[in-house]
């Protein structure tokens, strides 16, 4: 069993439990449920930097990244830096995140927020909306084409953007459909955890131009972004690079300044 299979097995149990604790009605009555979501896809397509900055305390591959920062400071720091959007990890067991992180980030910043989560059920999309997210992530490696269609169409019906993540050509080919806004290529091999930008480069020509192209994982330098821009990438997800510093907002500000 690879780490992703483990996470998904746990996620099914977790979602079943959450459904018992908080009924759908309650999520739909959240103050944030009526809020109109800004589009991350739109922000990326007109941006010079295309940075999506992440809030991440730890990960299965890196253990602890940063446990000392509060989410509001990170969110307002990222917003001041001029990033296009912020990714907030809400998985507790493997990444040390929670839905409250999303709520705190929403209270501190206006920028588009991505709920970074292992989505397997429409219930999690209702949660995302209720807790202030503007974008959901779907991971092709753990979903069938039918599931991707159901989940992405449901997200669109709530006015959310959809970022679909793929790791290879097979995942990409089964996933392309009109209910997606962005196609993200994850440069990390899920079996070995090795990272290579070649993954983004080789898949770029296969992604139809209707979608905003996003590259994820292993992007820690200006050079990496400059190398990917000619391949049509408009979005770059940067997590650990900013989070491992004492002031992610200041790091992001410096990074963007050098980039543009």
pLDDT by residue (tens digit) across 218-256? 898 999 999 999 999 999 999 888 999 999 999 999 999
Contact 96, 63 (CB under 8 A): no
What six digits make up the tokens of 35?
A: 């809020």
Predicted local distance difference test score (pLDDT) of residue 59 = 82
Predicted local distance difference test score (pLDDT) of residue 64 = 79
Q: How far apart are CA 247 and CA 89, in angstroms?
A: 18
- Per the listing, tokens 């000619």 go with 230
Return the C-alpha torsion angle 202, 139, 163, 243, nearest 10: -90
> How far, in Å, are 29, 213, 242 from residue 162 at the CA level?
22, 12, 24
Based on the residue annotation, tell me whether 2 is a catalytic residue of this protein: no
Of 79, 117, 165, 171, the catalytic one is 165
DSSP symbol at 135 = E
Predicted local distance difference test score (pLDDT) of residue 194 = 86
Based on the residue annotation, tell me whether 216 is a catalytic residue of this protein: yes
**pLDDT tens by residue, 29-39:** 999 999 999 99
Query: Which residues, given as ranges, of the chain have pLDDT below 70?
Result: 1
Contact 204, 231 (CB under 8 A): yes
Of 59, 66, 87, 186, the catalytic one is 186
Predicted local distance difference test score (pLDDT) of residue 218 = 87
- Where are the domains positioned within the chain? 3-259
Contact 115, 134 (CB under 8 A): no
Based on the residue annotation, tell me whether 66 is a catalytic residue of this protein: no
| Top-tier CATH class for 3-259 | alpha beta
Predicted local distance difference test score (pLDDT) of residue 63 = 72
Based on the residue annotation, tell me whether 165 is a catalytic residue of this protein: yes
Of 37, 54, 171, 251, the catalytic one is 54
- Other Cβ atoms less than 10 A from the Cβ of 67: the count is 8
Based on the residue annotation, tell me whether 116 is a catalytic residue of this protein: yes
Q: At 211, phi and psi to the nearest 5?
A: -110, 145
């Amino acid at each position: 069993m690879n780490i992703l299979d483990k996470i998904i097995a746990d996620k099914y149990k977790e979602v079943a439990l959450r459904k018992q604790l908080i009924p759908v009605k309650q999520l739909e009555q959240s103050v944030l449920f009526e809020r109109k979501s800004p589009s991350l896809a739109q922000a990326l397509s007109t941006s010079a930097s295309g940075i999506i900055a992440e809030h991440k305390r730890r990960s299965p591959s890196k253990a602890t990244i940063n446990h000392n920062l509060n989410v509001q400071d990170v969110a307002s720091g990222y917003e001041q830096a001029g990033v296009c959007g912020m990714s907030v990890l809400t998985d507790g067991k493997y990444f040390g995140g929670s839905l409250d992180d999303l709520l705190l980030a929403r209270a501190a910043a206006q920028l588009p927020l991505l709920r970074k989560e292992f989505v397997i059920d429409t219930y999690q999309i209702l949660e995302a909306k209720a807790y202030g997210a503007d974008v959901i992530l779907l991971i092709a490696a753990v979903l069938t084409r039918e599931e991707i269609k159901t989940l992405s169409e449901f997200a669109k019906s709530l006015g959310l953007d959809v970022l679909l993540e793929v790791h290879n050509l097979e995942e990409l080919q089964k996933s392309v459909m009109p209910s997606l806004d962005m196609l993200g290529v994850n440069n990390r091999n899920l079996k070995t955890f090795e990272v290579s930008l070649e993954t983004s480069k080789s898949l770029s020509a296969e992604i139809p131009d209707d979608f905003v192209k996003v590259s994820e994982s292993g992007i820690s330098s200006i050079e990496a972004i400059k190398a990917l821009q000619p391949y049509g990438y408009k979005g770059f997800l940067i997590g650990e690079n900013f989070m491992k510093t004492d002031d992610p907002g200041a790091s992001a500000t410096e990074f963007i300044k050098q980039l543009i």
